[in-house]
Amino acid sequence: MPYYNQNTTPLWRSVKEKCDNNNLWLNVFSELIGGDMAQLISNFDPSKHARTKCACPVHGGKTGKAYGLLKHSAQSGASVCNSCGIFSNGFDTIMAWTNWEFKTAVKYIAATKTVGLIQSNSTYLGPTTPKPEWKAPEIDWEAEKRKHERNLKYFEEAYSLESNQGQLAWHYFGNRGIDLSKIAPKNIKRFFGDVKLHTKMPYWAYVWDHDTGKLAEKPVMIAKLPALLSWIRNPKGQKSNLHVTYLTEDGFKATDFLWQQWCDVSDIDPDEIPASFRKKFAPDTKKLRSSIEDKPISGGALQLGLPTEVMAVSEGLENIACFMSDFDNEEIAAWGLLNATLMGKWVPPHYDNKPLTKAVLVLADHDKAGIDNAILLRDRLATYHVHCYIVTPLMVFGEGNEDGVNAKTDWNDVYQQFGEGSLSTLFNESFFANLREGYPLDIPLPVFGN
């Protein structure tokens, strides 16, 4: 093995060039780290960031899944932690796992069989200081209880949509082409019971810290705004958490207002930063309240109506509200599944392990996430012996309307474009009768079905 000549290129640079140019960093990690890193390496996929995760070598973390490799880790040696950020090269990654100083790390890396730039008499067999052992954190049940109590308090403070103070919600839905007065009386009772308007809902956000060049560690309140509060209920019908949609005083989503508030508090001029920065850091107008340990939302929904033999589900409150207002039928319950991920995890209402529904119409968004998770839901429903049919907007409205219906479209977009009656004409009594019996469905374009 050749000795390193100190009169030439610095050792660290030679190490970096050899590892970077030959994609050797994962081999180096295998020699020097092992343990959880070996598992990350065995599951490494250069097409995906952090395909497998483990506890962070620096701080451990609460979940044991805070840390992972990046697509380019073999070439760069970089890795990432949800809290610590990116370890930008192989030296940083090695130092995070071993607690070595930079010079020590360079020498150990150079002496590996993979790199072979210097000889070593070391009997090194692993990191000099063990990484923190991850343990599941103890749950502060009093804190979890307080979270739920705060949710109850906010909902109690909020106004019924039937009150004068709740009229802003009608403007919001009206701005999206939805007339709540056309929802069937039986269903609107549940709708009004689980959806209310808070006139001054706090918005907490992590703002920009100019000293560190990243988001601050603790959130601050940047605004108090009108907001729709909607209960998410678990498959047993119990309240799990609140979904919040922040609004402007004239009944639109508060997207631009919250962005301006965030920039003001962060001392940032929004006109001087690239669009990519806003896309990454802008506050969301739709948020879930903090998760509660014993009240998971996975499998849950906005249960806007009691379970029926035939049901319709869709992403978001607005999508399902336009369906409910256009298809005035108390025999068809329509539930909102918030987002694509929760759609894929929804559990149908059941009692004593028996489903209370026979068939489900999945009104999926026409994008990859929407369709992929709708298919996951279809497979899940099959285990309950529930018929499932997936329909996307472009499947039934796209032909001849490509200019008006783009490739990323949801059902509220369709409803606003084609107007009242567009959904009830498509999903008529005959349609649902066939769906109930599992018969082929008479719609213009193909449907994913089981």
Same domain, 173 and 223: yes
Q: Which CATH number goes with the domain that contains 352?
A: 3.40.1360
* Confidence at residue 121, expressed as pLDDT on a 0 to 100 scale: 54
Are both 267 and 373 inside the same structural domain?
no
327 shares its domain with 249: no
| 365 plus 272 within the same structural domain | no
Residues 276 and 322 in one domain: no
pLDDT at residue 447, rounded to an integer: 42
Q: Is residue 74 part of a domain?
A: yes
Tokens representing 28? 């180096």
* Residue 294 maps to a domain: no
pLDDT of res. 24: 93
Instruction: Mark whether 149 and 268 lie in a shared domain.
Output: yes
What confidence score (pLDDT) does residue 60 get?
Answer: 74
Q: Is residue 120 part of a domain?
A: no
Task: Evaluate whether residue 2 is within a structural domain.
Answer: no
Domain range for residue 271?
A: 143-288
Question: At which of 221, 255, 288 does a domain end?
Answer: 288
pLDDT of residue 213: 85
Same domain as 198, residue 70: no
What pLDDT, on the 0 to 100 scale, is given for residue 224?
Answer: 97
**Residue 382 amino acid letter:** A
Q: How far is CA 54 from the centre of its chain?
A: 20
What does the alpha-carbon distance between residue 298 and residue 291 come to, in Å, rounded to a whole number? 11
Q: Are residues 147 and 273 in the same domain?
A: yes
Final residue in a domain of this structure, among 65, 88, 110: 110
Assess if residue 127 is contained within a domain: no
Within a domain: residue 20? yes
176 and 226 assigned to the same domain: yes
pLDDT at 135: 57
Assess whether 81 and 149 both reside in one domain: no
pLDDT by residue for the chain (450 residues), tens digit each? 344 344 567 888 899 999 999 999 999 998 888 778 888 888 888 877 666 788 888 877 767 788 889 888 999 999 988 777 788 899 999 998 988 888 888 988 998 888 988 876 555 444 444 444 555 567 889 999 999 999 999 999 999 999 999 999 999 999 999 999 988 887 788 889 999 999 999 999 999 988 888 888 899 999 999 999 999 999 888 999 999 999 999 999 999 999 999 999 999 999 988 899 998 899 999 999 988 888 988 889 999 888 888 999 999 899 999 988 887 667 788 999 988 888 888 999 888 778 889 999 999 988 888 888 899 899 989 988 998 889 888 776 665 444 544 455 788 988 888 888 888 888 887 888 877 777 655 554 334 344
- 215 and 248 fall within a common domain: yes
Of 53, 86, 110, at which residue does a domain stop? Answer: 110
Q: Is residue 128 part of a domain?
A: no
Report if residue 121 sits inside a domain.
no
Mark whether 284 and 191 lie in a shared domain. yes
Which amino acid belongs to residue 170? W
Q: What are phi and psi of 210, to 5 degrees?
A: -70, -25
| Tally of domains within the chain | 3
